Amino acid sequence: MSFANFLDYHHFPVYSIMVLFLGAFLIVLFGKNKFMRNLLAFLAVSISLACIVALVKPVMLDGEIIAYWMGNRAVAGGYAIGIALEVDALSLFFALLISTAVFVSGIYSLQYMEHDNNVPEYYTLFLMLSGGVIGLVLSGDIFNMFIMVEILTFAAVALTAFRNKAHGALEAAFKYLVVGCIGSTCILVGIIMLYAQAHTLNFAQLSAVIPGNMNNATKLAFALLFVGFGTKAFIVPFHPLAADAHGAAPASISVLISGVLTKSGIYGLIRLTYFLFQTMNLGTFQFLLVFIGSVSMFVCVTMALAQHDFKRLLAFHSISQIGYVLAAVGLCTGLGFSAGLYHAMNHTLFKGLLFLCAGAVLHQTGTTNLDELGGLSKKMPWTTGLFLVGAFSISGLPPFNGFASKWMVYQAAYQKASETGNIGFLFVTLIALVTSVLTLASFVKVSQSVFFGRLPAKYENVKEVKGGMIFAMCLFAILCVVTGLFPSAVTKYLTEPAARAVFSVVNYIDAAMGTGYAASAMGENLPVVASFNFNELGYWSPISWLLILCIALLAVTIVAVSGKYDKVSESSEIADSKYDLFFGGEKSVYSQVGGGDLFWGFKHNWRHYFSFMHDLHSGIVNDYSLWAIVALAIVTLFIQIVL
C-alpha cells in the first residue's frame, strides 16, 4: 500500500475518530509535561477537524455516500457482518459542527484549565468525549453507536464531576450517571431486540429489513431506542439533568455537552425515525416530534427565565433551542428539515460562544451567580462585546445567525399548517415566536445582571481574560456572524444536502449493501420520498440590510459627531456629585437591579405556572428516574397504538 493510499479521503472518517482516541491514550502516557499535552490535544482536535472538513467536498457537494468497512470485511452473503462507518451528508453535517465545537473548545481549554489540578486527565476525558461523539455520528453500525454512546456518557459524567470540590458537582454527575444509564440501558435493550428480529446490526441493512416487518418486539425496541436517544438529547422530560450537568462542568465541557452531546441525541432520533423505522410519513409521528419539540422549547425557556445562575440559564436555553430543532425536524418537509439542521448548527455556535463567555466570567470572578455579579462591561469589554453577539444570535436579532434559522422554522411550520390544513402547526409558529422573545428577555436579564448595571466593590480588580480565550470566543463569534449573513449559502451547501440525504433513504441503504439491495429487500415498501419543496414564504437579504444599516448608522453618526454628540462631560477622579447616579437626591449607593428582580409583571401573571414548575423540579434523582420510566411507558403506548 503506497503512501498516497493513506491520503485517500475514504479513510478520513476513521482518522478523524482515531486521532482523538489516540490523543487521549498518548496524553495518559506523556501528559505530565504541560507543553506535550497541550501540543497533543491541539494536534488531535485539529487533525480531526481537518479530516472532517476535507470530506465536505466529496460528500456534501458531490453527494457521495462513503461506506467504509473496517479491515475490508464488506457485505457477504447478503449480511453485513463487518464493522462499518457510513458517512452521508447528514452524518457529515453533524460531524462538521461537532468537530468545530471540539476544536474551539480545545483551544479555549489551553488557558482556561491551566489553574486546575489533574489537567492530563481532563484532556484524556475531553478527547474521549469528542471521539465518542464523532464516532457516534459517523458509525454505520447500531452496536457501535451504542458503544460510542457509552464512551461519551461516561466521559461526560466524569467531566461533570471534574471540579468535584465545587458545590453540587458530584451530585450533578450522579444524577447524570443514573438517568444516563437508564437511557443507555434502553438503547442496549432496544438493540438486542432488533438483533433478535433482524439478525444484523448494520444500520443500512436494518433500515431495509425492519420497516416492512414491524411486530410487537420491534415496536418496543423503537420505543426503547427513542427514549434512550431522547435522554442523550436532554429533551423534556430529561431537561433537569442538563441544567445540573452544564452548571457543574467546566465551561469548555459545557460547550461540548450543550453543543455536541445534545446534537448526538438529535442525530440518533433522526436516524431512528427517518431511517430505521421510517415512520415520519405518519402524521401522528410528526405530531409526536413537533409536540415534544414545542413543549421543550416553551418549558425550558420559562425555566431559564427563573434561573439565578448564568450557566444553568444557558443550560435550559440549550434544551429550548433543541426544541426548535426537534419541532422543525418533525415537520418532515424539506424546508423544515433544512431549518432544523440550520438551527442545530447555529445553536452549537452561539451556545458555544455564550458558554465560553460564562466561563470567562467564572474564570475571572469565581462565580456565575446572577445576583452577585454586575457591571463587568467596564472591566471585561471584549467578553461583553462577544457575549452580546452571542445573545443577539440566540434571541434571533437580525442579522445574526439565530434569526435566519428561526425565521425558516416559522416559515416551515406555517407552511406545513397551511398544506395540511391542521391548525395545530400554526401554534408551533406562535410558540416558537413567543419563545424567541422570552429568550431575548432572559438574555436582557443576563446582560443587566452580569455585564451592565453596577459593579460590586469586590470586583474592582477584575481583569479581562487572556488572549487565547478571547481568540476562541472570537472564532465562534465570527462564525455566528458569517452564518447569519449568508443564509442562502449555508442552506445551499450544508443543510440542503443533509436534508436531501434524509429524504433518500434508499441511497443510504444501497451505498452500504450494494445497489439494488433496498429494492429487493423492501419490495413494495420502498419509502415514499416526502415532498422536498423549498418555497419560502417571505424574503430576507441580510447583506443588503446590513449595508443599508451601515449607511444609515454612518449618516447618523456623522451628523451626531459633527453636532458635538461625543463632546460629553465625564467625571474626573474627584468624586463629584454631578456624576453620581440620580437616587432621588440621596447619595449614590451600590444598588443593582438584576437576577431575580427582573420581569416582575410577567412572573406575577404566571406565578401559578412558575410555582408548579418549581415543585416539579425537585432535584431528587429518584423523581427524575421516575420521569424517565413514565416517559418510556408513554412512548411505548403511543407507538403501540399508532403503528
Partner 1 sequence: MMTIVLTALQYLGYILIFPGFLFCFVIGMLLCGIDRKIVARMQKRVGPPVLQPFYDFFKLCGKETIIPAAASKTTFLAAPLVGLAALVVLQLFIPIHGFSAFSGMADIIVILYLLLIPAMAAMLGGAASGSPYAGIGLSREMVTIIACELPLVMVLLAVGKVVGGDAVTFSFSKIANYQLANGSLITHASLIPAAIAMLLIIPGETGNHPFDTAEAETEICEGLLAEYSGAPLAVYKLTHCVKVLTLTSFFAALFLGGIGTGIVVVDALILVAICIVLTIVSISFVHAITARLKIEQVFKFYWTIVTGLALISLVLAWYGL
Partner 2 sequence: MFKKLIEESTAKSPWLFHINAGSCNGCDIELVSVLTPRYDAERLGFKLTGTPRHADIVVVTGPVTSQSLPRVLRAISQVPEPRCIVTMGSCPQSGNVFRGSYSVAGPLSKYVHVDVDVAGCAPKPEAVIDGLALATQILKEKRAKK
Q: By CB under 8 A, what part of segment 449-478 binds partner 1?
A: 452-455
Cβ proximity to partner 2, 165 vs 578, nearer residue: 578
- Smallest separation (angstroms) from partner 2 to the CB of 557: 17
Angle made by CA atoms 460, 464, 469, in degrees to the nearest 5: 150
Find the length of the chain.
Answer: 643
Question: β-strands 84-87, 66-69: how paired?
Answer: antiparallel
- Smallest separation (angstroms) from partner 2 to the CB of 453: 18
Q: Which does 597 bind (CB under 5 to 8 A by kind): partner 2, partner 1, none?
A: partner 1
Element (H, E) at 86: strand 84-87
- Smallest separation (angstroms) from partner 1 to the CB of 596: 11
Sign of CA dihedral 166, 614, 424, 427: negative
Near partner 1 in 489-518, by CB under 8 A = none
Cβ proximity to partner 1, 71 vs 601, nearer residue: 601
Terminal CA-CA length for the chain: 50
Q: How far apart are CA 358 and CA 604, in angstroms?
A: 28
With beta carbons less than 8 A apart as the criterion, state whether 352 and 477 touch: no
How many residues touch partner 1 (CB under 8 A)? 81
539 binds partner 2 (CB under 8 A): no
Cis bond before residue 120 (omega within 30° of 0): no
**Rg of the chain (C-alpha set):** 25
378 binds partner 1 (CB under 8 A): yes
Q: How far apart are CA 182 and CA 242, in angstroms?
A: 15
563 binds partner 2 (CB under 8 A): yes
With beta carbons less than 8 A apart as the criterion, state whether 363 and 469 touch: yes
The 10 Å CB-count burial string (b at 16+, else e) for 14-45 is ebbbbbbbbbbebbeeebeeeeebbebbbebb
Q: Which does 548 bind (CB under 5 to 8 A by kind): partner 1, partner 2, none?
A: partner 1
Near partner 2 in 574-603, by CB under 8 A = 576-578, 580, 582, 584-587
The residue from 463, 578, 587, 608 that contacts partner 1 (CB under 8 A) is 578
Cβ proximity to partner 2, 423 vs 589, nearer residue: 589
Cβ proximity to partner 1, 591 vs 640, nearer residue: 591
216 binds partner 1 (CB under 8 A): no
- Smallest separation (angstroms) from partner 1 to the CB of 602: 5
DSSP 369: B
- Smallest separation (angstroms) from partner 2 to the CB of 300: 38
Q: Which does 577 bind (CB under 5 to 8 A by kind): partner 1, partner 2, none?
A: partner 2
The residue from 106, 140, 340, 375 that contacts partner 1 (CB under 8 A) is 375
604 binds partner 2 (CB under 8 A): no
Q: How far apart are CA 104 and CA 100, in angstroms?
A: 6
Cβ proximity to partner 1, 147 vs 397, nearer residue: 397
The residue from 1, 457, 528, 581 that contacts partner 1 (CB under 8 A) is 581
The interface region with partner 1, picked from 74-82, 183-191, 309-317, 414-422 by CB under 8 A, is 414-422
Beta-bridge partner residues of 66: 87
Residue located via cell numbers 439565530: 402
193 binds partner 1 (CB under 8 A): no
